[in-house]
Amino acid sequence: MGLMQGRWSCRRLVAGSSIARRAATDTAPLSTRDALAAASNAPSPLRATASRAALPERGLGASTLAAPHAPPPEAADGLASPAPDYPHVSVMLREVLAAFQPVALRVFLDGTLGAGGHSAALVAAHPEMRSLFGIDLDPTAHALAGPRIAAAAAGREEELAVRLLHGNYRDLHTLLSTLSGPRPRPDGILLDLGVSSMQIDTAERGFSFMRDGPLDMRMDPSASISAEELLNSWSEADLGRIIRDYGEEKLWKVVAKRLVQARELEPIRTTHQLAKAVGHTQIGGKLGRGGRGPGKGEGKGKGVHPATRTFQALRIAVNDELGKLEEALPYAIEALAPGGRLAVISFHSLEDRIVKHAFCRAIGKPTPEQEPLTYGPGKYDFLEALEASKVATLVTRKPSLPSDDECAANPRARSAKLRVLQKL
């Protein structure tokens, strides 16, 4: 579903900042504990107005650490930036650090920058890193990630050139080709899929029914279609299809009918209106598929709100999440330097299946026939972009899961799965 209009604007959001130095030969990699601290104990994020300082734009040969120079989030459809003390918890951070630990990360690409927790931890753990590329559609992410990455890089002797780009990771191949100088070949690429906590917890973004707000759901505030527009204009059949395919909702016909009936009375404009319209959709006392939430942040084995799957379906459709993942994976694998690693964190079965099939193709293994490809743009035509010959090996034959301790501390991590591949 080509719902994303204008995938990315190639604005190189960089500026300069001096960092204290010490000899690179004396700089040992940080321990896992130190790297974890770097991801969470950075200075309070700058508000958008602070990131607008007139600082010079720099390229890959920057002589100083590059920090974000992003447009103020307040200017994007009137959306406010998160509070300066916004808490940030990176999902499966220990596992991500372990996945990249054996690799010399001279060039690293974070395709889903978010608040920069993963990137900051990897910067702290890999003093050999010389270039970092961070991609995110959400302008708020740049204001949050920049200070955190800068703090993690403090004390380096060698320069760390950072590029924070407003864009979509589906276009990483084009984005990397348009940069000045030789096309960089990352030693590591990370994709942390799904919606971030800062988006879920900001009512104005409309991602969650836990807080009432406008029914937006756009990860890129400048994108052309919102969940409100989709919900109030699509036919009952089309709504049912995305709720079935993207929400994995067994009661998709019932839900689609209720939504159409509700919007005939008045347009559905807020998250609470949508949750109320879905109502307690029950058959035989069961909620939807019986209470197992596949979306990011849903607990395993616990009952979920009947609107959860509908919210997931609308969010995936508005942001074309499966389409961009399908496009990005072959190019991410191709872009890696020999010996480089691609790590992907997924949060529901739709994402994980796409990742699994792409990885199977990359290692020269036929796509499992027992898992038919029945949904998604082009029905997985993206697999043809991967060569039939073996180009990679699996680092994790089965997906890694978050620890019980992490799930207890951060319930939103419960459905996470990490798969890692290494380029030959």
Tell me, what's the pLDDT at 31? Answer: 56
Q: Which two tokens stand for residue 27?
A: 């700089």
Tell me, what's the pLDDT at 78? Answer: 29
Tell me, what's the pLDDT at 84? Answer: 39
pLDDT in tens, 208-236: 556 668 888 887 777 778 888 999 999 99
Residue 326 has pLDDT above 70, yes or no: yes
Tell me, what's the pLDDT at 373? Answer: 45
Average pLDDT score over the chain: 73
Residue 317 has pLDDT above 60, yes or no: yes
d(CA 88, CA 94): 15
- Of residues 144 and 302, more confidently modeled: 144
- Phi and psi at residue 143, to the nearest 5°: -70, -30
d(CA 290, CA 77): 38
Amino acid at 47: R
Do 100 and 185 form a contact (C-beta atoms < 8 A)? no
- List % helix, strand, coil for the chain (3-state, nearest 5): 40, 10, 50
Do 268 and 232 form a contact (C-beta atoms < 8 A)? yes
Average pLDDT for 309-319: 89
Least confident of 7-11, 137-141, 183-187: 7-11
Q: How confident is the model at residue 37 (pLDDT cuts 50, 70, 90)?
A: low
Specify the pTM: 0.72
> By percentage, how much of the chain surpasses pLDDT 90?
38
Residue 261 has pLDDT above 60, yes or no: yes
| Residue ranges of domains in the chain, CATH in brackets | 13-192+321-351+399-423 (3.40.50.150), 199-319 (1.10.150.170)
Amino acid at 238: D
d(CA 154, CA 291): 46
Read off the DSSP letter of residue 270. B
Amino acid at 181: G
Q: How far is CA 4 from the centre of its chain?
A: 16
Q: How confident is the model at residue 173 (pLDDT cuts 50, 70, 90)?
A: confident
d(CA 262, CA 328): 37
DSSP codes of every residue in 75-120 = GTTTPPPPPTT-----TTHHHHHHHHTTS--SEEEESS-TTSHHHH
In DSSP terms, 67 is beta-bridged to 15
Tell me, what's the pLDDT at 198? Answer: 56
Residue 136 has pLDDT above 80, yes or no: yes
Residue 92 has pLDDT above 50, yes or no: yes
